[in-house]
């Protein structure tokens, strides 16, 4: 069995420098050379997963095909590598401690005192090596969340220190730091990077490669200075300069020879290694950067103050706009502030609108006002998850005449609950809630708009929700123009609705944004943008 190489990406100086993008970019470069690569995220927080975290706290909750609620960096990994991630690709401190405590309760440790070293670190190492243990991957690239110096990250860094000795040349550390520019002095400062590397060395770790995040080009002299003070080869000190789009980063890092240095340091002969084939990626980036005409899309949601709460939707729109040769002009619209009196002002200049997913009643009336405006003005509209459920409620109120139509999630006292919880779908999960999580099959009705968009009858899409369309209203919906065009046949659940009198008015119970990638943009988003262009 081939030896798997393990690469660890750590960060210093500041959070939000883009460890996930560097990890994904390195993965893309190695994949483009023919290697099998997977990315993994270690999150230091004590939550079991981000499923219970407020989106304002942590950005969107990403869902893998096997139903794991994961960090949004897994979305970057999938969009860059076009390879599905799974539960093993995202580990939290909460899960590590939960596993160790469960083992202790079962008596697995035979009465020993359970400690951070070796029990917690052994569990971390077991999870890190899980992806590479079957020999499916040449490289496992593991991003360690947080910043060097954070107390939460210490067990992870200690685990990596131990792995350095166990894996030898099959282990590599890439450290991402920040080089600030002092405008008054008109110079870049490397001292924060030196302190960051020193903090890493204090944990027993010496970085093999330094990636310097910067707003200005870093000279060779400055790179040599960093190499000297940080004990790193000059060729292994490279910059990651700010770019207009994250999709330019792999190309920049290729120019910095990141993949070549990694391969050399992990024992590969560059002369015998294929050159990176980034033809499709480069074509996408050039097409995105050369687009001049704009398309004006609105995203109506209750977390719009933090765009990362809708990261996958925004990236899916960017990809779809690129393949339609348009620049995305995105309007983030707070649903809490929207009603019938101001909806025309908010949506009047848009070419299309997306009604965002979410949980709970806040902002729901604003979403209903936006849907009513879009439906009555024949504006292309895509409702995702709760967005589709809001479509059902708006249609029932304003077309079928059920003024009190609602969802049991929002108001359990109303008579006409067109969106309800389905007891047969309950899976006991965190907090005892009932959720449909992960990929489910859907059968598309021939002759429908979605059948035309997908070009096939059977699809599989990822879900994250508790409530379903109430089938008691299905016949009445269809009589009045709202076709239930996508059905999960196993459970007879409505997955897709489309309002046939309009040119493009579709609601989906699933999250198409989770499976849209750079080289395979999701057909729903591509079609939606095309309709918005008109």
Give the position of tokens 């690569």.
37
Residue 271 per-residue DSSP state:
G
Question: Cα(147)–Cα(177) distance, rounded to whole angstroms?
Answer: 9
Question: Cα(124)–Cα(112) distance, rounded to whole angstroms?
Answer: 19
Q: Answer yes or no: 513 catalytic.
A: yes
Structure tokens at 428: 């006991």
The residue among 310, 394, 317 whose CA lies nearest residue 356 is 310
From residue 366, alpha-carbon distances to 81, 347, 388, 445 in Å are 37, 12, 14, 31
Bridge partner residues of 9 (DSSP): 143, 174
Of 119, 175, 463, 511, catalytic:
511
Question: Cα(387)–Cα(423) distance, rounded to whole angstroms?
Answer: 22
Question: Cα(532)–Cα(379) distance, rounded to whole angstroms?
Answer: 8
Q: Answer yes or no: 57 catalytic.
A: no
- Phi/psi for 497 (5° steps) reads -125, 150
Neighbours of 392 (CB within 10 A): 26
SS3 for 473-508, per residue? HHHHHHHCCEEEEEEECCCCEEEEEEECCCCCEEEE
CB-count exposure of residue 376 (10 Å: 0-12, 13-18, 19+): exposed
Neighbours of 424 (CB within 10 A): 9
- Measure CA of the first residue to CA of the last residue in the chain; give whole Å: 54
Question: Cα(525)–Cα(534) distance, rounded to whole angstroms?
Answer: 14
Question: Cα(465)–Cα(454) distance, rounded to whole angstroms?
Answer: 23
Structure tokens at 497: 């609705």
Question: Cα(352)–Cα(328) distance, rounded to whole angstroms?
Answer: 11
Q: Which long-range contacts (CB under 8 A, 24 or more apart) does 255-260 make?
A: 258/25, 258/26, 258/29, 258/209, 258/211, 259/26, 259/29, 259/30, 259/33
Structure tokens at 41: 């995220």
Question: Cα(177)–Cα(238) distance, rounded to whole angstroms?
Answer: 11
Of 381, 385, 442, 484, catalytic:
385
Secondary structure (3-state) at 443: strand
Question: Cα(55)–Cα(50) distance, rounded to whole angstroms?
Answer: 9
CB 510 within 8 A of CB 521: no
The residue among 383, 311, 377 whose CA lies nearest residue 344 is 377
CB 493 within 8 A of CB 425: yes
Secondary structure (3-state) at 240: strand
Of 61, 321, 513, 522, catalytic:
513
Point out the residues that are catalytic.
385, 511, 513
């Amino acid at each position: 069995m081939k030896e798997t190489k393990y690469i660890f990406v750590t960060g210093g100086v500041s959070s939000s420098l883009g460890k996930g993008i560097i990890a994904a970019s390195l993965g893309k470069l190695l994949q483009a050379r023919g290697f099998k690569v997977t990315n993994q995220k270690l999150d230091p927080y004590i939550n079991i997963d981000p499923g219970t975290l407020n989106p304002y706290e942590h950005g969107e909750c990403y869902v893998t095909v096997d139903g794991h609620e994961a960090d949004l960096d897994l979305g970057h990994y999938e969009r860059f590598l076009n390879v599905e991630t799974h539960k093993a690709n995202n580990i939290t401190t909460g899960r590590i401690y939960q596993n160790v405590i469960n083992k202790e309760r079962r008596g697995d440790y035979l009465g020993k005192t359970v400690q951070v070293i070796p029990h917690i670190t052994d569990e971390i190492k077991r999870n890190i090596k899980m992806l590479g243990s079957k020999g499916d991957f040449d490289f496992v690239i593991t991003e360690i969340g947080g910043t060097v110096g954070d107390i939460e990250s210490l067990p992870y860094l200690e685990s990596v220190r131990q792995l350095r000795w166990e894996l030898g040349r099959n282990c590599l550390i890439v450290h991402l730091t920040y080089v600030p520019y002092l405008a008054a002095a008109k110079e870049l400062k490397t001292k924060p990077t030196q302190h960051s590397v020193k903090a890493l060395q204090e944990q027993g770790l010496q970085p093999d490669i330094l990636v310097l995040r910067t707003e200005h080009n870093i000279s060779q002299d400055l790179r040599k200075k960093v190499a000297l003070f940080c004990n790193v080869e000059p060729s292994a000190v490279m910059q990651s300069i700010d770019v207009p789009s994250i999709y330019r980063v792999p190309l920049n890092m290729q120019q910095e020879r990141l993949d070549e240095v990694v391969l050399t340091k992990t024992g590969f002969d560059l002369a015998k290694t294929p050159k990176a084939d980034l033809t499709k990626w480069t074509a996408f980036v050039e097409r995105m950067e050369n687009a001049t005409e704009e398309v004006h899309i609105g995203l109506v949601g209750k977390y719009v103050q933090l765009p990362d709460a809708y990261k996958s939707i925004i990236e899916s729109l960017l990809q779809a706009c690129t393949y339609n040769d348009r620049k995305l002009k995105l309007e983030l619209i707070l649903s809490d502030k929207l009603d019938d009196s101001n909806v025309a002002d908010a949506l009047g200049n848009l070419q299309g609108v997306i009604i965002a997913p979410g949980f709970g009643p806040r902002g729901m009336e604003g979403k209903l006002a936006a849907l009513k405006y879009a439906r009555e003005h024949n504006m292309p509209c895509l409702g995702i998850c709760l967005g589709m459920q809001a479509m059902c409620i708006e249609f029932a109120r304003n077309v079928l005449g059920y003024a009190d139509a609602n969802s049991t999630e929002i108001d359990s006292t109303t008579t006409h609950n067109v969106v309800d919880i389905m007891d047969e779908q309950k899976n006991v999960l965190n907090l005892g809630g009932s959720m449909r999580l992960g990929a489910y099959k859907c059968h598309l009705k021939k002759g429908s708009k979605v059948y035309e968009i997908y070009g096939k009858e059977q699809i599989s899409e990822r879900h994250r929700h508790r409530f379903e369309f109430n089938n008691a209203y299905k016949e009445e919906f269809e009589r009045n123009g709202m076709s239930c065009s996508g059905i999960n046949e196993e459970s007879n659940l409505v997955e897709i609705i489309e309002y046939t009198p309009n040119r493009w008015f579709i609601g989906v119970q699933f999250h198409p944004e989770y499976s849209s990638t750079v080289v395979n943009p999701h057909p729903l988003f591509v079609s939606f943008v095309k309709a918005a262009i008109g």
